[in-house]
């Protein structure tokens, strides 16, 4: 089996002005030393991406777009094409739960976006995850299957290796940071869902792909719990929202990640 990299992704959502982003990056850069097979990805708001791309040291960090449109160009006022991110962002989030649940992004939309990202050589990070009520009704496996089959509908077995999956149970997002629902995904919950995801991928693309595909976890990850999540078999990193907005806490998450990577060797 290939050694999979570890990924820590900071999703800044709609936070930080241009100056704040730049200062944050400057401070974070002073605290982080690059490590082999560990990729730190920053997802700032779209309008700060370009200026951060000029500031960032690519030996330390990579950049991601939080969202993009799937058409390559044209009359789509207010949208940014993934094709326009070339040379700026290497990664793009697709189907984050806030896009699905606040902005009505459909499973079909995610399929178009993943395919567009691959076309433009941007790595799509396809976010999937069930709501609290879907989980309560025992539907999580079916929901995740639908999100995978729809999100990956345009992806052949040749390109699936270029896709990253992020499992983010909707009920666990931002619960540690002042969200409205108070539930935390336990490492045991995570372990069983990761197995479900990898078995769906096996069904769709075969055993080798299911072993090699990168699967991240997101849902109130912080410096206290990161170790317990990264210890779960089949988890390749974390997508961090609230705790990525503070230089101290985000740099400590990275330090813990390095420790656990070394311990695993
Ligand atoms: C997210 O936005 O993807 C996320 C996981 O947020 P938080 O870490 O705040 O739960």
How many other C-beta atoms are found inside a 10 Å radius of the C-beta of residue 111? 22
**Mean pLDDT, residues 56-67:** 96
**Mean pLDDT, residues 59-64:** 96
61 three-class SS? strand
**Mean pLDDT, residues 79-89:** 95
User: Of all helices (H) and strands (E), which one includes residue 63?
Assistant: strand 61-65
pLDDT at 262: 80
Whether the Cβ atoms of residue 147 and residue 128 lie closer than 8 Å to each other: yes
| Residue 220 in contact with ligand 1 by CB distance below 6 A | yes
Q: Choosing from 96, 105, 134, 200, which is the catalytic residue?
A: 96
Sequence ranges of the domains in the chain: 6-264
Q: What pLDDT digit, counting tens, does each position of 169-217 carry?
A: 999 998 754 444 458 999 999 999 999 999 999 999 999 999 999 999 9
pLDDT at 179: 45
6 three-class SS? strand
- pLDDT exceeds cutoff 70 at 222: yes
Exposed / middle / buried, residue 209 (Cβ in 10 Å: 0-12, 13-18, 19+): middle
pLDDT band at 11 (very low <50, low <70, confident <90, very high): very high
Counting residues of the chain whose pLDDT is more than 90, the rounded percentage is 91
pLDDT at 178: 43
Within its chain, how far is the Cα of 59 from the centroid? Answer: 20
Query: Can 96 be counted among the known catalytic residues?
Result: yes
Whether the Cβ atoms of residue 239 and residue 221 lie closer than 8 Å to each other: yes
- pLDDT exceeds cutoff 70 at 2: no
Counting residues of the chain whose pLDDT is more than 70, the rounded percentage is 96
**Mean pLDDT, residues 62-89:** 96
Q: What pTM was computed for the model?
A: 0.96
Q: Which of 206, 179, 194 is nearest to 231 (CA)?
A: 194
pLDDT at 103: 96
Beta carbons within 8 Å of 175's beta carbon, 6+ residues apart: 181, 182, 183, 184, 219, 220
Q: How far apart are the first and last CA of the chain?
A: 14
pLDDT at 229: 97
Question: 111-115, 117-121, 181-185, 204-208: which range is least confident on average?
Answer: 181-185
pLDDT at 263: 79
Test site for ligand 1: of 168, 178, 179, 250, most ligand atoms within 8 A of the Cβ: 168
pLDDT at 252: 97
Whether the Cβ atoms of residue 152 and residue 146 lie closer than 8 Å to each other: no
Q: Which residue CA neighbors atom 2 of ligand 1 most closely?
A: 241
- The class (CATH top level) of 6-264 is alpha beta
């Amino acid at each position: 089996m290939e050694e999979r990299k570890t990924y820590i992704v900071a999703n800044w959502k709609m936070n930080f002005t241009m100056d704040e982003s730049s200062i944050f990056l400057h401070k974070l850069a002073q605290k982080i030393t690059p490590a082999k097979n560990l990729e730190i990805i920053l997802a700032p708001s779209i309008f700060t991406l370009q200026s951060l791309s000029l500031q960032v040291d690519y030996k330390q960090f990579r950049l991601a777009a939080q969202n993009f449109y799937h058409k390559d160009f044209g009359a789509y006022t207010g949208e940014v094409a993934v094709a326009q991110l070339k040379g700026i962002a290497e990664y793009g989030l697709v189907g984050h739960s806030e896009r699905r649940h606040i902005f009505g992004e459909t499973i079909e939309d995610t399929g178009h976006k993943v395919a567009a990202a691959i076309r433009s050589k941007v790595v799509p990070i396809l976010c999937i995850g069930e709501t609290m009520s879907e989980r309560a009704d025992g539907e999580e496996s079916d929901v995740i299957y639908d999100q995978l089959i729809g999100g990956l509908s345009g992806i052949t077995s040749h390109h699936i290796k270029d896709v990253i999956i992020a499992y983010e149970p909707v009920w666990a997002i931002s619960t540690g940071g002042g969200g409205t629902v108070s539930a935390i995904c336990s490492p045991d919950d995570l372990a069983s869902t990761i197995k479900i995801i990898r078995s769906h991928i096996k069904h769709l693309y075969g055993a080798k792909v299911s072993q090699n595909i990168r699967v991240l976890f997101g849902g109130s990850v912080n410096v206290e719990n990161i170790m317990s999540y990264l210890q779960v078999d089949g988890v390749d990193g974390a997508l961090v929202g609230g705790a990525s907005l503070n230089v101290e806490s985000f740099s400590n998450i990275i330090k813990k990640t390095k420790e656990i990577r070394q311990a695993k060797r």
